[in-house]
Amino acid sequence: ILGFSTPPGRLSMMAFILNALTCALGLLYFIRRGKQCLDFTVTVHFFHLLGCWIYNSHFPLTMTWWLVHIVCTALMAAIGEYLCMRIELREIPLNSAPKSNV
């Protein structure tokens, strides 16, 4: 069903790309470590490959399927790592004022 020439194929590819973007946000909220984003992304897509293999009873061989999933893996890992690194590199507030006015 994935293909560039038909509207349902383009819609499916857009759904996969939007899913990669929302999963990148999931990496930000659940993982919170830039170094672990690639590991979790590859793990999620590996389990998706296994699920597709079991559901369809054959290994996915079409080039468009692999192309879409490689792009989505790269997108999810890159955006997730960028978002996590922005959070990790925030300045630590250093307040030298006393905590109470006694």
Tens digit of pLDDT for each residue in 59-89?
999 898 899 999 999 999 999 999 999 988 8
Which pLDDT does position 51 carry in this prediction? 96
Mean pLDDT for the stretch of residues 37-56: 94
Is residue 53 within 8 Å of residue 59, measured between CB atoms? yes
Which pLDDT does position 82 carry in this prediction? 93
| Cα dihedral 56, 58, 63, 69 in deg (nearest 10) | 60
Per the structure block, which two tokens stand in for 87?
A: 């959070």
pLDDT at 92 over 70: yes
